[in-house]
Structure formats: structure tokens, C-alpha cells
């Protein structure tokens, strides 16, 4: 009986030590995903979870649109602008899409120069990316203002199905929030790059931890995801 008790205690103690060891390893700064840093791994996990959220929103939009018996508004008419007496369908949306997709190019170049340790070009391209993102948000704010002025609300709209307003503000608003936060973090990381925090592993603004140029790549992952989501929103909401 005593031997069984001792054996049980040793097994329990070993299991407990093993769990503590695993917890210690995972809470350390080691790469737990085969040469993938914690920062990059956690960003991928976040983007995966965000993919489910955006997918749910788009599925809800498609369900509402296909199930309603009231005619759905024509996007070419709703999102048209009158310039110089001519009505241009989806012109604002086309410009917004061009601006956001272009920002993916500048972000990719920023990541390229980051791994070359060219902090001036990296910071400049990140600031340009942030400017393009802010431009996109500004145009989206104009779009919202125009539709609200024309009577669109989350519960109704003057062109047909009431679900149009709720799905429009929910999906574009959620995406616009992502872009806004992306712009803020682009400015923060660009400032750290410009100051040389990553060159000297100096503790910088916003975080007390030392960093490296991989932060630029992680920021790029987020930004490319936001751009990719907009492609689906553009296709489903404005072209369908």
C-alpha cells in the first residue's frame, strides 16, 4: 500500500512538473512553431479568428439578401456620384479599392526594405501606407455621410429592403475599424523604425519590450489581410 502511494505521488509530481515545464516553455520567448516567432504565430491565429468573423458577416449578408421578398437596392445607383452633370456608378468605390490595393504594394516594399535594414525607406513606405489607409477611411466616411443624408439607416432605406442599411453599416463599419486601427499601428511601428529602435534593440514608444524588424512583417500580415477582406466585400456588396 505504501509503495503504491509513493508511486502515485511520484507520478503526480512528475506530471505536475511536466506541465509546469511546458507552461514555462510556452511563456518564454522561444519559437514554439518551428522557427516561427510568437509574434508572427499569434498574428496568424488572430487573422484566422477574424476570418471567421468576416465570413459570418458576409454569409449573414447573403442570407438576408436572398431571403428578403422586398427588392434589393441596385448598387450602381445607390453608390453613384454626380460629377459635372454626369452620373458615374461606383466611381467612389473604385477609387477606394484602388487606394487600398495600392497600399498593399507599399506595405510589401516596406517589408522588403525592413529586412535590408534600410530604416529610412521602410519608415517612409509605412507612412505612405498609413496615408493611403487614412485616405480610404476618409472616403468611406464620405460614403457613409452621403447615404445617411439620403435616408439610409440600419433599420430602413429609401431604395427597398430594410436589411440593406444594417448589413452595409455593419460590414463596412467593421472593416473600416480594422483599417483605422491598422493606420494607428502603422504610425507607431514606423516611428520605432525611424528612431532606430529595431537597429539598437532599444525599448521604444508604446511597448517596453525590445523589438526587431519582424514587427514590420507582422504589421504587413495584418494589412494584407485587411486588403484581402475588402476584395470580398467589394465583390459581394458592390458588384453583386
Per-residue pLDDT, averaged over 99-116, amounts to 95
> Has residue 21 been placed in a domain?
no
In this prediction, residue 23 has a pLDDT band, given cuts at 50, 70 and 90, of low
Question: Could you tell me where the beta strands, DSSP code E, fall in the chain?
Answer: 81-83, 86-88
CATH code at position 92: 1.20.120.80
> Has residue 213 been placed in a domain?
yes
> Has residue 177 been placed in a domain?
yes
pLDDT of residue 28: 53
Domain ranges, residue 73:
37-239
Number of domains in the chain: 1
DSSP one-letter string for 189-204: HHHHHHHTHHHHT---
**pLDDT score of 14 more than 80:** no
Read off the pTM.
Answer: 0.82
pLDDT of residue 9: 41
> Has residue 64 been placed in a domain?
yes
In this prediction, residue 5 has a pLDDT band, given cuts at 50, 70 and 90, of very low
> Has residue 103 been placed in a domain?
yes
> Has residue 74 been placed in a domain?
yes
Distance CA 164, CA 162 (A): 5
Per-residue pLDDT, averaged over 185-207, amounts to 79
- The percent of residues in the chain predicted with pLDDT above 70, rounded, is 80
Q: How many CB atoms lie within 10 A of CB 121?
A: 15
pLDDT of residue 134: 98
Burial 182-220 (b: 16+ CB within 10 A, else e): bbebbbbbbbbbeeebbeeeeebeeeeeebebebbbbbb
Amino acid at each position: 500500500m505504501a509503495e503504491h502511494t509513493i508511486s502515485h505521488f511520484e507520478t503526480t509530481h512528475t506530471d505536475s512538473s511536466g506541465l509546469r515545464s511546458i507552461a514555462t516553455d510556452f511563456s518564454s520567448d522561444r519559437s514554439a512553431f518551428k522557427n516561427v516567432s510568437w509574434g508572427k504565430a499569434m498574428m496568424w491565429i488572430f487573422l484566422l479568428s477574424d476570418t471567421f468573423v468576416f465570413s459570418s458577416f458576409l454569409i449573414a449578408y447573403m442570407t438576408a439578401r436572398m431571403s428578403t421578398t422586398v427588392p434589393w437596392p441596385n448598387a450602381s445607383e445607390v453608390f453613384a456620384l454626380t460629377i459635372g452633370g454626369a452620373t458615374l456608378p461606383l466611381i467612389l468605390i473604385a477609387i477606394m479599392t484602388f487606394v487600398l490595393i495600392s497600399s498593399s504594394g507599399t506595405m510589401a516594399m516596406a517589408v522588403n526594405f525592413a529586412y535590408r535594414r534600410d530604416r529610412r525607406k521602410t519608415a517612409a513606405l509605412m507612412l505612405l501606407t498609413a496615408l493611403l489607409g487614412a485616405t480610404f477611411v476618409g472616403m468611406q466616411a464620405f460614403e457613409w455621410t452621403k447615404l445617411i443624408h439620403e435616408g439610409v439607416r440600419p433599420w430602413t432605406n429609401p431604395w427597398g429592403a430594410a436589411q440593406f442599411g444594417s448589413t452595409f453599416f455593419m460590414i463596412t463599419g467593421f472593416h473600416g475599424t480594422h483599417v483605422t486601427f491598422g493606420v494607428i499601428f502603422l504610425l507607431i511601428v514606423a516611428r520605432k523604425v525611424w528612431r532606430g529602435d529595431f537597429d539598437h534593440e532599444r525599448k521604444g514608444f508604446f511597448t517596453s519590450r525590445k523589438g526587431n524588424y519582424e514587427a514590420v512583417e507582422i504589421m504587413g500580415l495584418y494589412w494584407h489581410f485587411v486588403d484581402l477582406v475588402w476584395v470580398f466585400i467589394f465583390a459581394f456588396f458592390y458588384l453583386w
